[in-house]
Chains A and B, each alone.
Chain A
Amino acid sequence: MAAAKVSRKLIFSAAFLAVAFYSHLLFLWGREPQKLYLEEVLSIGSLDDDTLFQWVGVIADSNGYIYVTDTMDYSLKKFDARGNLLKKKGQKGQGPGEFMAPRYLGISERFLYVTDQFRPEIQVFDKDLNYIRSILISMPVSDLKVLSDNEIAVATVSMTKSGRIFIFNAKGTIKRELLYSDKKLPLMMDMVSFDFDSQGNLYIAYSYQDKIEKFNPEGKKIWSKKLLKIKRIKKEKIASFEVPTRLVYKDIVLDSSGNLFILGGSFSKNPSCDVYVLSPEGDLLTTLTLPDASHCIYIDIQNFLYSRANEGVTLKKFRMKYIYEKKASSFPNELLIWEKKMSERAIF
């Protein structure tokens, strides 16, 4: 009888503790992060070596290999997770597997996709950097995201067909066009960086306008945000073209939870260093500052963030650390540091 009482008490206590612990977790997970810090975990290339000369595009695969386009070295480079150079492919030229100015990178299950500033095509390589084929694109590519081997989304520089993202198939035929601006805007004013989430929603950050927008897969605009309250972008007349000379947003990428990371340009408090973190609903969660100015940011599937240092000689990889403010009355000033390792579990 007494043993039954004791075991009932034990069960009750265990249940109580479990409920308390679960509520505590819910409380934490329900909170938005107050701050986001970067912890450097890897640095590739330095001013003292010739690993990288001037990198432009970066992408990582699910095995942790890092692929980089090095424009000054006319090459595509593959590094292991520790930053050791495993392979280098390419030289200056117009032939298969050669580069004039390699730029952006896309990745699928099997292939790597590489754009070139001066070649009207996207070159496809396998993950051992063997050249496979080319996809002809008649316009210069300003951003690239590979949805699958048969769906390559591309933003281009164009004077006529502007305000849209083109989806090419593997043969280079346009499958569909995603129109994000039906207004005829002045030259370059509708240029964007873009990314897709896992549901197929499109997010765009205008390069020369203070505008971030979300579209659903049917092309309907969900929301539009201004982060910097910029009213007018100054333009200059250069060689009879009136062009903007300062970027508002340089890049947009999504983490594995669907949060948006937007790299600010010249108008940010810390130019080319400030990264605005938005929820999928467009709410500003926090802002982080990169240690060095960068032209792009990239987030891999494990939520490591990559950016530039030493003007393109160095590639940095960071773990993102979130700090959540705990407002429980018994600990009024306590800050709870929560290290976010998305490889282990998604928190928000």
Chain B
Amino acid sequence: MILQIQKHIKKATFILIIFTFFLSFDAYAQEEGKCEKALVRCVIDAVSSLPSFSSFYIHIIYCLGGYVFCIKYLKK
């Protein structure tokens, strides 16, 4: 009986470790993609300023500026 319980505890621990690993990996991936997602959103917004090429260009420059700051501030 005791042996069976010990086996179950081992299994549960293993599952917990795997679960925690995937959870932490997912959190890391989300953190990693934050700046890239923001850049994509910003560029999509910039398209709305077309056909004025100069405002589109300025918008894109500010998108890149934001991206540069984002990875400097957020990424280790």
| Chains A and B belong together in one complex | yes
B75: A residues at CB distance < 8 A: 245-247, 265-266, 272
A303 in the interface, Cβ–Cβ < 8 Å?
Answer: no
Q: Are B36 and A247 in contact (CB under 8 A)?
A: no
B residues within 8 A CB of A265?
Answer: 72, 75
Q: Which residues of chain B have C-beta atoms less than 8 A from A247's C-beta? A: 71-72, 75
* In the complex, A140 has a CB within 8 A of chain B: yes
- Complex CA gap A76/B32 in Å reads 29
Residue contact B40 to A118, C-beta cutoff 8 Å? no
A135 CB-CB contact with B under 8 Å = no
For A250, list chain B residues within 8 Å (CB): 72
| Contact B64 A238, beta carbon cutoff 8 Å | no
Say yes or no: A295-B72 contact (C-beta < 8 A), given A158-B61, A236-B36, A238-B40.
yes
Chain B residues, CB < 8 A from A240: 43
Number of A-B residue pairs having CB atoms within 8 Å of each other in the complex: 68
Q: How far is the CA of A272 from the CA of B72 in the complex (A)?
A: 9
Q: Which residues of A contact B72 (CB under 8 A)?
A: 207, 247, 250, 265, 295
Q: How far is the CA of A135 from the CA of B64 in the complex (A)?
A: 22
B50 contacts chain A at the CB level, 8 A cutoff = no
A238–B39 alpha-carbon span in the complex (Å): 7
Among A236, A239, A272, A293, chain B packs the most CB atoms within 10 A around the CB of: A239
B68, A207: Cβ atoms under 8 Å?
yes
A148 contacts the other chain (CB 8 A): no
How far does the alpha carbon of A312 sit from the alpha carbon of B72 in the complex, in Å? 12
CA distance A266 to B57 in the complex (A): 29
State which size class the interface on A falls in.
Answer: 20 to 34
Contact A312 B64 (CB under 8 A): no
> Bound complex: CA of A229 vs CA of B65, how far in Å?
27
How far does the alpha carbon of A191 sit from the alpha carbon of B61 in the complex, in Å? 13
Chain A: minimal CB distance from B61 (Å):
6
**Complex contact A245–B71 (CB within 8 A):** yes
In the complex, chain A residues 131-171 whose Cβ is within 8 Å of any chain B Cβ: 139-140, 142, 157-159
User: B73 at interface (Cβ–Cβ under 8 A)?
Assistant: yes
- Residues of chain B with a CB closer than 8 A to A207's CB: 68, 72
Q: Is B12 an interface residue (CB 8 A)?
A: no
Q: How far is the CA of A139 from the CA of B62 in the complex (A)?
A: 8
Q: How far is the CA of A285 from the CA of B73 in the complex (A)?
A: 27
- Chain B nearest CB from A312 CB (Å) reads 7
Q: B43 contacts which chain A residues (CB < 8 A)?
A: 239-241
Task: Tell me the nearest residue of chain B to A138, going by C-beta.
Answer: B58
**Extra 15 A-B pairs, beta carbons < 8 Å, given A247-B72, A312-B73:** A56-B73, A117-B65, A140-B61, A140-B62, A140-B66, A158-B61, A188-B64, A238-B40, A239-B39, A239-B44, A241-B39, A265-B72, A265-B75, A272-B75, A295-B73
27 contacts between A and B (CB under 8 A): A117-B66, A118-B62, A139-B61, A140-B62, A140-B64, A140-B65, A142-B65, A142-B69, A157-B61, A159-B61, A159-B64, A191-B68, A238-B39, A238-B40, A239-B39, A240-B43, A241-B64, A243-B39, A243-B67, A245-B35, A245-B71, A250-B72, A265-B75, A266-B75, A271-B76, A295-B73, A312-B73
